[in-house]
Amino acid sequence: MDTHTLDDTMRQLGARARKAARQVARADDRTKSAALRAMAERLRERKDWLQAENAKDLEAAKRNGLEPALIDRLTLSDKALALMAAGLEQIAAMPDPVGELTETRLRPNGMQVARMRVPLGVIAIVYESRPNVTIDAAALCLKSGNAAILRGGSEAIHSNTALGLIVRAGLEAAGLPADAVQVVETTDRAAVGKLATMTEYVDVIVPRGGKGLIKRLSEEAKVPVIKHLDGICHVYVDRDADLAKAQAIAFNAKTYRYGICGAMETLLVHADVAPAFLPPMSRAFIEHGVELRGCERTRAIVPEAVPASEEDWATEYLAPILSVKIVDDIGQAIHHIETYGSQHTDAIVTESLAAARRFQREVDSSSVYVNLPTCFADGYEYGLGAEIGISTNKLHARGPVGLEGLTTLKWVLTGDGQTRG
Amino acid sequence: MDTHTLDDTMRQLGARARKAARQVARADDRTKSAALRAMAERLRERKDWLQAENAKDLEAAKRNGLEPALIDRLTLSDKALALMAAGLEQIAAMPDPVGELTETRLRPNGMQVARMRVPLGVIAIVYESRPNVTIDAAALCLKSGNAAILRGGSEAIHSNTALGLIVRAGLEAAGLPADAVQVVETTDRAAVGKLATMTEYVDVIVPRGGKGLIKRLSEEAKVPVIKHLDGICHVYVDRDADLAKAQAIAFNAKTYRYGICGAMETLLVHADVAPAFLPPMSRAFIEHGVELRGCERTRAIVPEAVPASEEDWATEYLAPILSVKIVDDIGQAIHHIETYGSQHTDAIVTESLAAARRFQREVDSSSVYVNLPTCFADGYEYGLGAEIGISTNKLHARGPVGLEGLTTLKWVLTGDGQTRG
């Protein structure tokens, strides 16, 4: 598509989203939830057609030699579709965040001051191969009263376009504007750049996917970006740790799933407990196929570990590799996390209340755990019911982002003709 | 200063701020408040010296032919200094926002999930001639546990440097690091650009001052900016308005102070009440020296009004000028505000509950009022105790920004060795 046409297309799409956003912001929860349930129904009814559309993407993926893991993510299996439909119904059943009034107070002059939770407006989501994001993101945006612009990966274009039609039909069935959720149908990469700079039509952009996508998008963006770049998560085993607990936590943090952003990448161990803790811990990792890279002091205890380089401490492996460092005290552990961490999720294992309090207060990450593995970093686990992603931003949503992160608070003041001065 | 030197200077300043930020984040409220009271004491004790330093700026200002209003703002009079000292003591007495735990819940597996309010880290404030901002901003940042980098206007450099020394002495008296509040002493404009792009050292930047400064800074910034650009505030007089109340509210909204961002710039009037409302309202404005610019229908009722151009609707006058438009219904009023407004503060005057509810829900501004003049847009009036500025951002702080807007929430999870999956 030439630049001029793309520009026009995206601006028109943005203007339609802005208009629809005003309508869904006003919609009551009964209507929004009816639309979500209508989508679930259609997902089930039109399964064969969806799988036929999905097959086009799968054939192309195989022709292009996509990795099996990616093909797996791309596949709309019976199970994947059933989970998507169930997810829609779950989000429909959640309480509506919109309209909540908080911090209501009467001022001395009798005027009432309060904050009202309202939608952000138009949310753009940019993602890679998983077509289920089309449904999840549409549902979260709609439930929170926002319009959505969805831009999936080109390798899922047929699947996403088909899912977009299901969403549209669900919206219309409930009497909501079909433009409340639009799937970008051009595979032109410049479309992402447009979304990230159309500040008049897009209120926030959420990139989900690889680091390359997120980095590029953050650099271009004029629209606020809810994101995290890296998940270099640490578990620190304190001098006062229960070592059996520490082993279970560290093992789970690394091996629950290697590819998630909450996976532990560096294990920090207090020097006093390292001789007792590291030998059995290392054996468990090595038996499980995890490669260990250690500091010199670690290697003196764990000869199987290869030397860790400076770069290792700053690397998100997302793989069965773990860097291990021995520290002299909790202060050194916190300093290491400050220096190399990504402010995502970090954990301490300790039975000491003082150490737990200090770690939780001082570590400047979006989530800070005591006696829990970092792989709990997930909106469902926190009780948010659903999540659009995890943010390491400090402003607005931080950590797992649920429905509330897709809303904002405005001030509403009500009086009876009070004047100032 | 050459680019290389400036770069070094600013990076060193940033690194010192980051280090101090960790220390003030840990400080308890007793210590922070003691520092604020020590500053107040020194402001009073060193009044003569401060006024001598201030005199240097005032002389230069007069030599350079600064406007009397600006010279007035620049002056550290006895009264101005007394107010600054009282402000410090007020902020010292406010509750500490840091450390508050909210939304604490137990998950089914027994782990506890909560959110902890914590400082943002390093806050940069860029402002123009008013030296009192040096004290206000320092106090708000310190109370909320942040380090501050303050960059005032070059015309106040002697005053700000002197106030910076007072702040430093107060910090040291309480045992806090002096670098927790740094005043940028170079008047090089490029320093502002550096502050706005040093993402590793600055967590948020707050520009206070003219639109030119804010626009330029927002364009350059890589650091999140808490700001508002325009305050094009509307009062809409509904069909169901009490007209006496409407007149008092509209008059106050325009005339309380012409130069504040909450001043009304456009008056919207329902066609049904315009013939009764506009003649006495116009007389009151004209007698007070307010120039009226009206739409055609307004001019048919108010012949003294000059024709309003398309540009008028989009202009923040900050002056005794008011644009007036007659609309057919509340929907048209909301549409006008959506089209020309700046999402700052907008008000409806009505006795109709339905109209009030609709206006407050649908108008997408940071503050939406019923039966109150827009000039109430101020943190003190809202009960925030103090304010660093007003934000029209949708993300993070929206509307008047008090101590809470200088903090963020992180997730803290505490368990007993629970694992996932």
Residue B20 lies inside a defined structural domain of this protein: yes
Instruction: Match 């609707």 to its residue by tokens.
Output: B313
Q: Which A residues 67-126 touch B at CB under 8 Å?
A: 99, 105, 107, 111, 113, 116, 118, 120-121
Cβ within 8 Å of residue B354, ≥6 positions away = none
User: In the listed set A227, A250, A265, which residue is the last one of a domain according to the structure?
Assistant: A227
Does residue A264 sit in the same domain as residue A352? yes
Does residue A223 sit in the same domain as residue A238? no
Summarize pLDDT for A219-260 with one digit per residue, the tens. 899 999 999 989 999 999 999 999 999 999 999 999 999 999
Distances A321 to A250, A258, A283 between C-alpha atoms, Å: 13, 9, 14
Does residue B192 sit in the same domain as residue B241? no
Where does residue A70 rank: exposed (0-12), middle (13-18), buried (19+ CB within 10 A)? middle
Contacts of B383 in chain A (CB under 8 A): 105, 107, 113
Summarize pLDDT for A352-378 with one digit per residue, the tens. 999 999 999 999 999 999 999 999 999
Does residue B118 sit in the same domain as residue B22? yes
Residue A77 lies inside a defined structural domain of this protein: yes
Which 3 state secondary structure label does DSSP give B42? helix
Phi, psi of B244 (to 5 degrees): -70, -45
Cα separation of B379 and B91, whole Å?
13
C-beta separation of A204 from A226 below 8 A: yes
Domain count, chain B: 2
- Does ipTM come in above 0.90? yes
Q: What percent of chain A has pLDDT over 70?
A: 100
- Report residues of chain B scoring pLDDT below 70: 1
Summarize pLDDT for B322-377 with one digit per residue, the tens. 999 999 999 999 999 999 999 999 999 999 999 999 999 999 999 999 999 999 99
A311 half-sphere exposure, CB direction, 13 A CA radius? 1
Does residue A244 sit in the same domain as residue A356? yes
Asked if the Cβ–Cβ distance from B248 to A419 is below 8 Å, we say: yes
Return the exposure string of B309-330: e unless at least 16 CB atoms fall within 10 Å of the residue's CB, then b.
eeebbbbbbbeebbbbbbbeeb
Where does residue A284 rank: exposed (0-12), middle (13-18), buried (19+ CB within 10 A)? middle
Does residue B220 sit in the same domain as residue B237? no
Residue B391 lies inside a defined structural domain of this protein: no
CATH code of the domain in which A223 resides:
3.40.605.10
CATH code of the domain in which A327 resides:
3.40.309.10
Does residue B160 sit in the same domain as residue B267? no
Tokens of B169: 């002495």
User: In the listed set A209, A227, A245, which residue is the last one of a domain according to the structure?
Assistant: A227
Cα separation of B120 and B133, whole Å?
19
Residue A418 lies inside a defined structural domain of this protein: no
Does residue B155 sit in the same domain as residue B13? yes
Pair type for strands A181-183 and A147-151: parallel
Cα separation of B349 and B241, whole Å?
5
Residue B370 lies inside a defined structural domain of this protein: yes
CB pairs under 8 A between A and B: 195
Summarize pLDDT for A179-225 with one digit per residue, the tens. 999 999 888 889 999 999 999 999 999 998 888 889 989 889 999 99
User: In the listed set A227, A244, A262, which residue is the last one of a domain according to the structure?
Assistant: A227
Asked if the Cβ–Cβ distance from A362 to B118 is below 8 Å, we say: no
A249 touches chain B (CB under 8 A): yes
Contacts of A245 in chain B (CB under 8 A): 416-417
Asked if the Cβ–Cβ distance from B409 to A395 is below 8 Å, we say: no
Does residue B257 sit in the same domain as residue B175? no
Does residue B216 sit in the same domain as residue B272? no
Q: Domain range spanning residue B73?
A: 3-226+399-413
Q: What average pLDDT is seen over chain B? A: 96
Contacts of B252 in chain A (CB under 8 A): 419-421
Q: Which residue of B has its CA nearest to A343?
A: B410
Residue B325 lies inside a defined structural domain of this protein: yes
Tokens of A418: 């009070």
Tell me if the pTM is above 0.80.
Answer: yes
Return the exposure string of B364-393: e unless at least 16 CB atoms fall within 10 Å of the residue's CB, then b.
bbbbbbbbbbbbbbbbebbebbbbbbbbbb
Residue A215 lies inside a defined structural domain of this protein: yes
Q: Quick one: pLDDT at residue A1?
A: 61
DSSP B385: S
C-beta separation of A420 from B376 below 8 A: yes
Does residue A307 sit in the same domain as residue A352? yes
Does residue A190 sit in the same domain as residue A262? no
Tokens of A279: 């030998």
Cα separation of B222 and B202, whole Å?
10
B259 touches chain A (CB under 8 A): no
